[in-house]
Structure formats: C-alpha cells, structure tokens
Chain A
Amino acid sequence: MRFKIVIYIILGALLIVTNGISADVPPVESVERAETEKDDQKILSEDKAPADSVTVILSEPETSKPGEITEEAIPEEDKFQIVEEAEESDRSEPTAEVSGVRASEQDSEPEPESKKSDEVVDEAKSREEKARTVEQDIRPKQETTKEPKELKPLYVRELVDIKAGQNDSNPVWSPSGKKIAFERSIGDKREIILSGLNGVVFQKIYCKLTDKQNEEMDFFFPGIAEDISYNSGISWSPTEGSLVFMSNGGSGNYDLYLLPQVGNESTIRLTEDDEKDSHPQWSPVADNLIFVSGRTGKADIYLMKLETRETIQITNGEKTYLYPQWSPDGKKIAMIYGSNENHDIYLIEDITKPAETVKALTTWSYDDLRPAWSPDGKKIAFYSNYNLEQDPKVWALFVIAADGSDPTRGEELCAKAVATNVIPDIESGPAWMPDSKRIIYVKNDRQAYNPIYVVNVEEKDEAILKTTTKMNHDVICSSDGTIAFRAQIEQWDHIYIAILPN
C-alpha cells in the first residue's frame, strides 16, 4: 500500500509540474462572453438541413484497462492522502518555468475577437456613462480581502479515462445523480457521452444524416457531411429514462432530438424548423419541453408537449429570450431577455398564463446571465457583470428571491452579490448545492488556475475547494451533492467528480 502511495505522490507531482509548464490557457471568461454574444446573433442565423433519420452509436463500455490502477481501487483514506500530498507538491513548487507561463498567460489576457479594440473602448465608455447616470446612487460596500477558508474534498477523480485529442465538457447530472451526460469534442464534431457515476460509458450519441443524404450533401458541399455532426444541450427527463438534446444531424441547421429510451439507439427528431432550435429543458414534473427557437426571426421561448408535439410560443419580445429554466415545481420559468449589451433576468410566474405573468427580476444596465433555481425553488442565482470597476468582463454571482420580491436595480440589488470575480459558466449556470444554501462556482483567478469555490449565500462565506485541478469550468452539482466539473490536463479538457465533506 505504501508503495502505491509513493507512486501516486510522484505521479501527482509530475502532473502538476507538467500542467504548470504546458498549460496554454484559453481566455475563458472572454470566450464565454463572446459565446453568449454569438449565441444571440447565431440563434437567428444558424442554418439547418433536414435529418429525417439519425443513428446513435452504442458504444462498448469504456472501462479501465486491465492492470491499471483505478481511483476506485484505492481506499478512501488513501485518496485523501493523495490529494493532500499533491497539494503539498503544488505549494512547494513555484518553479521558474511555472512562473513564466503564468506571466505569459496574463500577457495574453483576451479581448473578444469579434470586436475591435476601439469598439470595446466605446462600449466600455458608454457603459460607464450609463452606469453613472442610471446607477448614480450605487456605492457598494468595500469588499473585504480576507483569505478564503480551504475545503478539502473527500475525493476528486476523473470521470472516465483521460485521453489526449478530445475535449469533454458540459456535464449534466441525471435527476437522481446516478448517471451523467456530457459532450465530447473531437476535431469539429461533438458527440454526447452517457456514463454512470463509476465512469462506465454506456452510450454515445452522434446524430448523422442517412448515408444516402450524406452522400448527396457531400457531392454538392464537399467536406460537410463528414466532419460537422454537432450534438449538445442535453436535458434529462424526470424519470431519467430519456433525454432531449440539440443536434445538426451531421449537416445544416440545429434541431431538437429525443432519445426516448436511454441505452436504445433510435432517436426522434422533434423539430424541423428552418431556424435554429436550442436550449431544450425538460420539465421536472411533466413531459413538456421549453426551448429557444429563432423561427420568428428572433429568439423566443417555446413550450412543447411531448405527447402531442403541440408547440406554443410563450414569449414574444422585441429582443431575444434565452436560457429558459424550469422552476423545481415545473410551474415557472426563469430566463434572460435583452440584447448583446444588456440582458436581464425575467420570470414567467405561471406557465399556463405566460403573457400575463411575465415580469423582470432585474432591470439595470448590467448584463445578467444564466438564471439557476435553487433546489427549494425560493431563490434564483445568476451571473452579472456589475462590478465597481465598471469592467464588462468582470462577473459576479448574484442570488435574488425567486418570487420577484427583491429590488430589480440599484444599491439593493448590488447588495445581492454573493461572490465577485467569478467565471460565468454559460452552459451550466451557477451550481446550487442540494441544501439551497450554497453555490459552487469557479473563481476567475488565473494565478491559481481558476479554482473552484463554495459560497454560502446567506453569510457570503467563501471557501476554496482544494481539488488540485486546473482551469476548472462547467461546475454542476447533483441532487445528492456530488460535484462534476471540467478541468484541463495539458491542453485537453476532462470531466472530474468531487465530493465535499459534510
């Protein structure tokens, strides 16, 4: 046993040094922001082609190779020690190379590529002016700079075997927390992987047009049929026997697809509109979907009854509605509304009367993104780029009452910030713990390789979760409190699992 531990210590230390040297860190927060902006634009312009039939590739289970030492094979007490030892190594090795890499990462602090620098300056100026006039009375309290507490997870391990050449992202827990789906990018294509908590992959979903259609498409648009099947945006059914996702079917535009029976290869195409359909969310209490579609020329939220496929448009604004989220009781919907410059959090209080019950939960000049309901349905967390420096690239985590009783702007809303300088995980949103009191998020701290934090939303106490992983992202929490997230090994992203103490 001691021998094994020594091997793990050495491997852990090597891993840390290797990561430190080679981490070619992408500008995460700006990418996310750019992605959000692009989403608004693309939702109306992405293209699609008919995909009458799709194939799902059922995979051989991905299991550990014979003879390999797996994390499961190690007793819990040894795992703790590995984490601790690795932390020791991390702290004790501020090598010159590592420092150099960090410095260069800072040097390459990103600008959104879609905007020219003068445009960004103009935008920042106009935002500043706007903020001065509209939010003149806002003077938030000075942030305290005390060191966060440290929290050691019971264990941290990779979900599936780590392989170079592929990037895993956007994990989504099944409602029970026993299964997990995530997206895997290999080159231009993106497939959906379904796995158990033990890391055994039991299904891969890769929608493609039929061979005949592929062949014809490839004749007229060479290179299209073979390389761009893109599958993402997973949402499990409450029984977790089915799921819905977005796919381009190997070509053309994006539609919604249903996997009626997990483990079975056939899928059903749910939408066939010329414009993009995306962000499907399965109701937690019924077989209804909400999703975003650009079918009217701008993004709006639609409700689909799966049994009849009856589809109803439930929003109709001048600007775009995005990222709809069901409340845990399946009666309300939180979403964002706005344009590239300013999104606000909106609520539909009664899904049976959407037009009459829609209201804004935030109305200020800052960009508010990705609402997430607390499991008890009483609060909504979201990201906002409100900050003292008026820097639109700096994000904070906010929590407000889900019934709309909190102020929608001004100092009172500023006070609802529970964490600052966070990385907005646009696809997954802030990750609530099952107790509805804590949120897991990623701190924008490049010196510390974007660590994972836990914040208590009432006391606003923060603790850093010592996972030893780097460039963390896409944090989600299951109904039993297991955390899944993406982290980087060399340049490749992998899904990790962690459990908090207590």
Chain B
Amino acid sequence: MKKAVLLCVMVVFFSGSLSFAEGPLKSGMKLYKRHLYEDAGRLLYSYLPSCRSGEEGTVYLSLGMVYLANARLYSTLRETSVSVHLDYLAKLDAVSNGAKSRLARLYLAQAYLEAGKPEKAAVVLQKFISDKNIKPRDKAVGKVSLGVAYFLLGKSKKAVKIWSVLKATDPEVLSELAVAYYKTGLTKKNPSVMCDEALKIAKKTGEPVSIQLIKNVLWVYASTGQVEKGLDIIKNVDLKAFSHEEAMAKNTTIRFYNLSLLGSLSKLYGKAAIKYLEKASADNKASGPALYYLGMANTFFGNIDESTKVFELFVSSAKMPARYKNTAKVMLAENRYLKGDKVQAKGLLGDMDTTNIYMLSDILLTCSRLQLECDKTVKKALDLVKTGEGKAFARVNYALGKYYLQKKDYIKAALFMEAGRDKSNKNKIEYNDPVMLVSLARAYYQTKKFSEALEIYFEISKQFPAVRQIQIAMQGVYSMEQKSAGDAKIL
C-alpha cells in the first residue's frame, strides 16, 4: 500500500516537473507549430514581463513570429470576408418585400469601402442616411463612412464638412471618426486621444464595450504604434460578437458583423510583429531568424526599402539555413519588382534555381502576389507535383493553388490545394497552414461548394472566433441561393 502511494506521489511529482521544465516559451512555440496562433500569442505575451534574464530576445522573436502569422491569416480572412459580404449584403439589399433590411445598406457600403470601391459606397450610403427610420447613432456612423468615401473620391472638403457637423459624444461614432481622421491624414485631431476618450465613455456605462468600438480603437492604436494597448484590449474581447442585430418580420433577426474587425486585427498583429522582431533582431541569440521574419513583416506592410535592407542582411549572414536564404532571395526580387525595377526583377526570378522544390514554390507564390504570368515556372511545378508527395510537394501544390486562385481559376485552385492538404486531417489547422485552408475555402465558395467551405471555417473558428462573420455571411448566401441551410455547421 505504502509503495503504491509512493509511486503515485512520484508520478505526480515527475509529471509536474516535466511540464514545468518545458516552460511557457517552449509551450508557446509548440502552439505556434500547431498554428494555434491566438493561444500561442496569449501565452507568450503574458510570459514576456516575467521571462528569465537572457531569454528576452528569444521571447520577442517567438512573439514576433506568432503575431506575423496571425497578421497574415487575418489579412487573408479579411479578403475573403469582403468578397463574401459583398455577395451577401447585395442579396440582402436586393430583397424588396417586407423582409428588407435597413442596416444592410450601411454594411454593404462599408464592404464597398473595404473593397476599394468608394463610388459605390457613396451611392449606398446616401440612400442609407436618407432613411428616416435609421437610428441617429447608425446614421452618424453612416455619415462618417460617407465622408471617407468622399475623401477617397478626392472630395476632401466635402468629407470634412460632413464630419465637422457631427456631434461625436457617442463612443462608437467618436471612434469611427478617429479612424476616419487617421485614414485621411487629419492627425491634428489626435485620433489616439479620441479613442482613449471613446473607451472611457463606453466603460462608464458599465456595459461590455461594443465590438464596433473595439475594431476602431484597435486600428488606431495599431496605426499609432501603441500595440500593447491594443493587445491588452483584445485579451478580454469576444471576437465573434456581432455589431448590430436587426429585427425582421416573422420573428426573425439579422445579425451584422463588422468586416473591418479582421483588418484591424491584421494591422494590430502585423505592427506588433514588427515591433517585437525589431527588438529580437537587436539580440545576439535571436537576430538571425528575427531578420528573416522582420523582412517578411516589412514586405507584408509594404515597407519595401526596410524589407530589402533586412533581407540583404539575412542573406549575408553565413549561419542561416540555405532554404530560408533562398526564400529571402525570392523576396528581394519581389521587392525590386514592387519598387518598379520590373525587368531586373523578372530576370532575377527567371535565373533562380527552379529545380529546388522550395524555391520553385517561393517563386510561384511571388508570381501570385505580383500577378505575373509565370508559365515556365507553373509548368515545372505541374510536372513536379505529379512525381511525389510529402511536405515539400504539399508546398508546391499550395503555391499552384494560390496561383490559380489569383487567376480566378477556382476549380484548379481547389484541386491543387486539396492535393496539398493533410489527407488524414484535412480541415484541422493543427495539421494544415490555416492560410491555405482559408484559400481553399475561398475556392470552394467561388465554386459554390458551400458545405465544404463552411466545414473549414467550423474548424478554424475553434481557434479564431472572429471568422464567425464569414460563416454567417457565407451561410446567408448559401441559404438564399439554395433556399436551405443544408447540413453546414456554423456553431
């Protein structure tokens, strides 16, 4: 009996010490490897203030990597969300019977703005704000958006005039204005202070801060470099919350989600990634890998000169792995193209070693991003993927899928990304790059395979609850096109 008790004590003791020995840093990076970026980010961010002396550089690097991955994912999600919302909201707005939504116009206009179509946004917003049944706060938000549309159409005076007459005492309107001021360069209005004020007012009410307000302050804090403020806010926010609920006939309601939340999250995580990677690059232990990811983060944000500088440093660093150096070389060529040196850049890409399976995928991904015709590279990749499978081949399949997605050949895109997916765990983010899954879901959506797309989002939502907005919009399109929600899982 005594022996059994002793054994139990030993088991408990050793199992406890094992998990302690692993430490938050290692645990965080293991979560990262399984693509659980939200969990990894939370763990590492909370560990940062208490990390061991000498460990800071590695923690910064890990955090930077996690946030960069998150930023890319939210950016891809945002693109999908805009596309699906435009379809969904246009269908809602087109309903002519008694079930017509009033708020659909506001969200449709905002979707147009996100899609870079201010002219269409302005038309819809004018209709929206002329509706007498709209609540004053929603109308004010609509006016702020209309101002943004005018500004983007080159009518800045008209924009300022609309904004100047708004009484921004409501925190949502105030934060909406703060974003508008920042986007249009009216920083003298001090958008950051406006957001602080909006949060203060909202908290005074004692009710949870609305997601509408959250997405605005996250955007402004990220833009003004106050990433910790933003990261602290999202610790306790329900990212799957809706921003409006509209009661319709026949005891039904429509919930609206603000799609710019995804853009705000992408911006916040991207800026946080740059901040932490810059810190990591100053640390001797972490500087090598930090340079690589910092180069990627800068390209992601369009800081091409900075990205080029950092990638050149990385490539010249002797101890870094050749495979990642090759990727950096492809990115340097991409940067040249983005800087306008197109002929030189194409020449560089054309001279690269496409017998190297990783480099081939990198070149193909660059072709997709730059929307280049890369027939020779595509042909090589097509020949190659017939010859084998495994991680390296999965990457080529993914690159081909991305290439065809950008070419709007959705059937081929789905075909190759399916081939690159883990066969046994096909929708699990732990086994598949979530960006690939989102791209595949996009191809499914475009080919009206709604169930398959929603299955993917169901899995993704377990870690990234903000995708709820895509699920709802896609479900909406599905039900309106198929007259039935089918068996797709959302919740």
A residues near B, CB below 8 A? 46-50, 113-114, 116, 187-188, 217-224, 227-228, 251-253, 274-275
By a CB distance below 8 angstroms, the chain B residues around A217 are 321
> What's the Cα separation between A113 and B350 when bound, in Å?
10
B286-305 interface (Cβ within 8 A of A): 289, 292
Which residue from A47, A113, A219 sits with its C-beta under 8 Å from B319? Answer: A47
B323 x A228 contact (CB < 8 A):
yes
B390 x A187 contact (CB < 8 A):
yes
Q: Assuming the A-B contacts A116-B350, A116-B351, are A221 and B319 also in contact, with contact meaning beta carbons closer than 8 angstroms in the complex?
A: no
B35-70 interface (Cβ within 8 A of A): 61-62, 65
A224 x B351 contact (CB < 8 A):
no
Closest residue to B285 on the A side, CB-wise?
A216
A223 x B62 contact (CB < 8 A):
no
- Some 27 contacts from A to B, beta carbons below 8 A apart, are A47-B317, A47-B318, A47-B319, A47-B321, A47-B322, A49-B319, A49-B320, A49-B321, A113-B355, A114-B351, A116-B350, A187-B390, A188-B392, A217-B321, A218-B33, A219-B32, A219-B33, A220-B65, A220-B289, A221-B323, A227-B391, A227-B392, A228-B322, A252-B320, A252-B321, A253-B318, A274-B319
Q: Assuming the A-B contacts A187-B390, A221-B289, are A251 and B351 also in contact, with contact meaning beta carbons closer than 8 angstroms in the complex?
A: no
B321 x A219 contact (CB < 8 A):
no
> What's the Cα separation between A274 and B62 when bound, in Å?
25
Closest residue to A222 on the B side, CB-wise?
B33
Closest residue to B292 on the A side, CB-wise?
A221
B324 x A224 contact (CB < 8 A):
yes
> What's the Cα separation between A440 and B274 when bound, in Å?
59
> What's the Cα separation between A251 and B289 when bound, in Å?
13
B319 x A252 contact (CB < 8 A):
yes
User: A-facing mask of B325-344, CB < 8 A → 1, else 0?
Assistant: 10000000000000000000
By a CB distance below 8 angstroms, the chain B residues around A218 are 33
Closest residue to B62 on the A side, CB-wise?
A219
B residues near A, CB below 8 A? 29, 32-33, 61-62, 65, 289, 292, 317-325, 350-351, 353-355, 390-392
Closest residue to B357 on the A side, CB-wise?
A188
B325 x A47 contact (CB < 8 A):
yes
B33 x A48 contact (CB < 8 A):
no
By a CB distance below 8 angstroms, the chain A residues around B391 are 223, 227
**Measured between C-beta atoms, what is the minimum distance from A492 to chain B in Å?**
13
Q: Assuming the A-B contacts A187-B390, A219-B29, A219-B33, are A224 and B321 also in contact, with contact meaning beta carbons closer than 8 angstroms in the complex?
A: yes
**Measured between C-beta atoms, what is the minimum distance from A403 to chain B in Å?**
40
By a CB distance below 8 angstroms, the chain B residues around A187 are 390
Q: How many A-B residue pairs lie within 8 Å, measured between CB atoms? A: 57
> What's the Cα separation between A367 and B119 when bound, in Å?
65
**Measured between C-beta atoms, what is the minimum distance from A8 to chain B in Å?**
32
**Measured between C-beta atoms, what is the minimum distance from A471 to chain B in Å?**
18
> What's the Cα separation between A113 and B319 when bound, in Å?
27
Q: A50-B319, A113-B355 are known; give 11 further A-B pairs, CB within 8 A.
A: A47-B318, A47-B319, A47-B320, A49-B321, A113-B354, A116-B350, A223-B391, A252-B319, A252-B321, A253-B319, A274-B318
> What's the Cα separation between A222 and B62 when bound, in Å?
13
Q: Which 10 A-B pairs have the closest CB atoms?
A: A274-B318, A220-B289, A219-B29, A224-B321, A49-B319, A47-B322, A221-B321, A47-B320, A47-B318, A221-B324
**Measured between C-beta atoms, what is the minimum distance from A269 to chain B in Å?**
14
By a CB distance below 8 angstroms, the chain B residues around A49 are 319-321
By a CB distance below 8 angstroms, the chain B residues around A252 are 319-321
> What's the Cα separation between A113 and B317 when bound, in Å?
27
B61 x A220 contact (CB < 8 A):
yes
**Measured between C-beta atoms, what is the minimum distance from A209 to chain B in Å?**
11
**Measured between C-beta atoms, what is the minimum distance from A37 to chain B in Å?**
12
Closest residue to A215 on the B side, CB-wise?
B26
**Measured between C-beta atoms, what is the minimum distance from A115 to chain B in Å?**
8
By a CB distance below 8 angstroms, the chain A residues around B324 are 221, 224
**Measured between C-beta atoms, what is the minimum distance from B217 to chain A in Å?**
32
By a CB distance below 8 angstroms, the chain A residues around B353 are 113-114
Closest residue to A187 on the B side, CB-wise?
B390
Which residue from A50, A114, A251, A274 sits with its C-beta under 8 Å from B321? Answer: A251
**Measured between C-beta atoms, what is the minimum distance from A24 to chain B in Å?**
10
> What's the Cα separation between A251 and B321 when bound, in Å?
6
**Measured between C-beta atoms, what is the minimum distance from A254 to chain B in Å?**
10
By a CB distance below 8 angstroms, the chain B residues around A47 are 317-322, 325
Residue of B33, B289, B318, B354 with most partner-chain A CB within 10 A = B318
Which residue from A114, A223, A274 sits with its C-beta under 8 Å from B323? Answer: A223
By a CB distance below 8 angstroms, the chain B residues around A50 are 319
A224 x B323 contact (CB < 8 A):
yes
> What's the Cα separation between A220 and B287 when bound, in Å?
11
> What's the Cα separation between A251 and B390 when bound, in Å?
20
Residue of B320, B325, B392 with most partner-chain A CB within 10 A = B320
By a CB distance below 8 angstroms, the chain A residues around B320 are 47, 49, 252
**Measured between C-beta atoms, what is the minimum distance from B374 to chain A in Å?**
15
> What's the Cα separation between A222 and B318 when bound, in Å?
18
Closest residue to B354 on the A side, CB-wise?
A113
**Measured between C-beta atoms, what is the minimum distance from A223 to chain B in Å?**
6
> What's the Cα separation between A369 and B61 when bound, in Å?
46
B318 x A275 contact (CB < 8 A):
yes
By a CB distance below 8 angstroms, the chain B residues around A227 are 391-392
> What's the Cα separation between A187 and B292 when bound, in Å?
26
> What's the Cα separation between A116 and B354 when bound, in Å?
13
**Measured between C-beta atoms, what is the minimum distance from A84 to chain B in Å?**
37
By a CB distance below 8 angstroms, the chain A residues around B289 are 220-221
Closest residue to A31 on the B side, CB-wise?
B355
> What's the Cα separation between A228 and B391 when bound, in Å?
13
**Measured between C-beta atoms, what is the minimum distance from A465 to chain B in Å?**
31
By a CB distance below 8 angstroms, the chain A residues around B292 are 221
> What's the Cα separation between A219 and B26 when bound, in Å?
9
Closest residue to A273 on the B side, CB-wise?
B318
> What's the Cα separation between A187 and B387 when bound, in Å?
12
Which residue from B318, B355, B392 sits with its C-beta under 8 Å from A48? Answer: B318
By a CB distance below 8 angstroms, the chain B residues around A114 are 351, 353
Closest residue to B352 on the A side, CB-wise?
A114
By a CB distance below 8 angstroms, the chain A residues around B317 are 47
By a CB distance below 8 angstroms, the chain A residues around B392 are 188, 227
> What's the Cα separation between A224 and B320 when bound, in Å?
10
By a CB distance below 8 angstroms, the chain A residues around B354 are 113
By a CB distance below 8 angstroms, the chain B residues around A116 are 350-351
> What's the Cα separation between A468 and B355 when bound, in Å?
30
Closest residue to B286 on the A side, CB-wise?
A220
